Amino acid sequence: MTYPTQAVLTLEALVDACARFDPSDVDQRLVVRTLVVPMLSRRLKWLGLLLRARPDSEATRTMFEQVESALACASARLDARAAPAMDRV
């Protein structure tokens, strides 16, 4: 039996935050924009480097795709919330 490491649990929490944050809540948007997205972006960069070194690693590829998808989700949700505010300008 394997137990998840703290790093895996943290990654799962960050990915989960991208999908579950409330875009109408200013504080949650701030946390996602200033903490979650930069942390996941750095992780994506490192995973990309690992994939270059071991392109056959299914676990690394899966994690890369999971982080990439979470960042796209967060970006879309942040942008969707910002769009109506831009219309009022």
The 10s digit of each residue's pLDDT in 20-66 is 999 999 999 999 999 999 999 999 999 999 999 999 999 999 999 99
Note if the pTM is more than 0.85.
no
CA 66, CA 58: separation in Å to the nearest integer?
12
**Cβ distance 47 to 64 under 8 Å?**
yes
CA 10, CA 4: separation in Å to the nearest integer?
10
